[in-house]
């Protein structure tokens, strides 16, 4: 068995969390020659008791949470997670075209979600994009009582985000901007204040978007990017807080299938660790237009940071009979 945290895996129906995988689900893995191979699971991953101290590995273009004894494929050979060091290189799944072709086979349904206190939101491309931007909303009940809402964005990207909001909300009206060194708070009025006020926990929204069609998921992440971007000379820097693990994982997975190269750096400020994800303007344009270049990506990515994290642990089945190993958040387990 592979002992891992609640990472993301590719299924025939798209991305799923490990704890959402059911028996009969087909999971992407590789065979002994390193070729893609779908395996139908006879039983779901097994939850192993309460939270355990696991290892959280952040790389240039991905991250994974695994048990210390879980083995990954390193440049110099097989490594247990507890042996991995910063600047080591680990092996990734490197064929984005394979996943993109599988996505084309998924049903093109339109998903609806019910938001308690607000009503039904149809996950069209525009509304999914709006939900992605509003993932930055800040809970300030006193402000909502006054008919306003607040979103929290990187200080270097305030102007960019406001321009995007004006494009999609016809009655968007900024009432104040409060800036500090890292983050800024944009207060605005609009008829969508009720949606902001009742916006469910982000984990719930992600669960719904993951079950929708791929265009809705892509549009949600595009909104998230536009609410988190600092403009660089030849690209964009996406700012994430250390604890926003799942959002980064979604970003990495979607960047991968569109052959977008990105580089992650860690800024370790006192009490405020931040992950910066840099991407070129040309690659981001390809991503926004949902182009899928038939490019084999590099199989190796450098470790940027290693942390200990408490999370529920799952035993993921191993299939020795057909020499199958799962692809977990794009990383290859040994």
Answer whether residue 107 is part of any domain.
no
Answer whether residue 50 is part of any domain.
yes
CATH number at residue 138: 3.30.1370
Task: Judge whether residue 106 has pLDDT over 70.
Answer: no
Confidence (pLDDT) at 206:
92
**What percent of the chain is modeled with pLDDT above 70?**
98
Confidence (pLDDT) at 323:
83
Torsion from C-alpha of 61, 65, 70, 76, nearest 10 degrees: 20
Whether residues 71 and 116 fall in one domain: no
Residue range 239-268: mean pLDDT, rounded: 93
Task: Count up the domains in the chain and report the number.
Answer: 2
Domain boundary among 197, 222, 248: 197
Residue range 96-111: mean pLDDT, rounded: 77
Task: Judge whether residue 317 has pLDDT over 90.
Answer: no
Three-class DSSP category at 262 = strand
Task: Judge whether residue 110 has pLDDT over 70.
Answer: no
Residue range 165-186: mean pLDDT, rounded: 92
Answer whether residue 240 is part of any domain.
no
Residue range 207-224: mean pLDDT, rounded: 92
Domain boundary among 141, 170, 197: 197
46-50, 83-87, 130-134: segment of lowest average pLDDT: 46-50
pLDDT band at 129; cut points 50, 70, 90: very high
Confidence (pLDDT) at 107:
60
> Are the C-beta atoms of 297 and 259 separated by less than 8 Å?
yes
Answer whether residue 306 is part of any domain.
yes
Task: Judge whether residue 319 has pLDDT over 90.
Answer: no
Whether residues 150 and 84 fall in one domain: no
Residue range 277-292: mean pLDDT, rounded: 93
Task: Judge whether residue 108 has pLDDT over 70.
Answer: no
Buried-state track 123-146, b at ≥16 Cβ within 10 A, e below 16:
beeebbbbbbbbbbbeebeebbee
Whether residues 74 and 140 fall in one domain: no
Domain boundary among 147, 162, 197: 197
51 to 305, 312, 330: CA distances (angstroms):
21, 4, 24
Three-class DSSP category at 34 = coil
Answer whether residue 81 is part of any domain.
yes
Confidence (pLDDT) at 7:
97
Confidence (pLDDT) at 180:
85
Answer whether residue 252 is part of any domain.
no
Q: What is the DSSP letter of 94?
A: -
Residue range 313-334: mean pLDDT, rounded: 88
Nearest to 315 by CA among 63, 21, 13, 87: 21
Confidence (pLDDT) at 144:
78
Residue range 53-57: mean pLDDT, rounded: 97
**What percent of the chain is modeled with pLDDT above 90?**
71
Whether residues 76 and 2 fall in one domain: yes
Answer whether residue 77 is part of any domain.
yes
d(CA 137, CA 199): 8
Residue range 80-108: mean pLDDT, rounded: 88
Residue range 247-269: mean pLDDT, rounded: 93
Residue range 168-174: mean pLDDT, rounded: 94
CATH number at residue 15: 2.170.16.10
Task: Judge whether residue 280 has pLDDT over 70.
Answer: yes
Whether residues 15 and 82 fall in one domain: yes
Average pLDDT of the chain is 91
Task: Judge whether residue 101 has pLDDT over 90.
Answer: no
Cβ neighbours of residue 252 closer than 8 Å, sequence gap 6 or more: 61, 62, 63, 262, 329, 330
Whether residues 80 and 1 fall in one domain: yes
Nearest to 224 by CA among 199, 262, 251: 251
Q: Where are the alpha helices (DSSP H) in the chain?
A: 96-103, 125-134, 141-145, 158-168, 193-197, 202-210, 214-226, 245-257, 281-288
Name the residue with tokens 């959402």. Answer: 20
10-14, 90-94, 141-145, 284-288: segment of lowest average pLDDT: 141-145
Whether residues 117 and 70 fall in one domain: no
Q: Show the domain range for 333.
A: 1-94+299-334
Answer whether residue 3 is part of any domain.
yes
Residue range 307-315: mean pLDDT, rounded: 95
């Amino acid at each position: 068995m592979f002992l891992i945290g609640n990472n993301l895996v590719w299924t025939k129906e798209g991305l799923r969390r490990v704890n959402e995988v059911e028996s009969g689900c087909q999971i992407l893995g590789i065979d002994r020659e390193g070729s893609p191979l779908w395996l139908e699971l006879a039983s779901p991953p097994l939850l192993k008791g309460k939270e355990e101290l696991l290892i959280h590995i952040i790389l240039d273009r991905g991250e994974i949470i695994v048990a210390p004894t879980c083995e990954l494929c390193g440049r110099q050979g097989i490594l247990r997670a507890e042996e991995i060091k910063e600047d080591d290189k680990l092996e990734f799944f490197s064929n984005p075209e394979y996943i993109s072709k599988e996505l084309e086979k998924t049903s093109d349904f339109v998903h609806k979600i019910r938001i308690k206190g607000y009503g039904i939101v149809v996950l069209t491309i525009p509304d999914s994009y709006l939900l992605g931007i509003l993932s930055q909303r800040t809970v300030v009940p006193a402000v909502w009582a006054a008919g306003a809402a607040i979103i929290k964005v990187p200080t270097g990207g305030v102007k960019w985000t406001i321009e995007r909001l004006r494009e999609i909300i016809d009655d968007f009206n900024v009432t104040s901007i409060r800036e500090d060194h890292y983050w800024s708070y944009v207060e605005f009025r609009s008829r969508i204040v009720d949606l902001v006020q009742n916006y469910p926990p982000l984990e719930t929204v992600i669960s719904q978007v993951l079950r929708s069609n791929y265009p809705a998921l892509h549009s949600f992440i595009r909104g998230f990017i536009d609410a988190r971007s600092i403009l660089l000379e030849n690209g964009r820097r996406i700012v994430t807080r250390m604890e926003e693990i799942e959002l980064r994982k979604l970003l990495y997975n979607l960047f991968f299938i569109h052959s977008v190269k990105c580089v992650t750096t860690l800024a370790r400020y006192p009490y405020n660790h931040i992950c910066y994800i840099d991407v070129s303007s040309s690659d981001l344009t390809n991503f926004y237009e949902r182009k899928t270049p038939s490019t084999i990506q590099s199989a190796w990515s450098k470790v940027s940071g290693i942390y200990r994290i408490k999370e529920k642990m799952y035993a993921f089945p191993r299939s020795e009979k057909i020499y199958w190993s799962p692809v977990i958040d794009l990383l290859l387990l040994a």
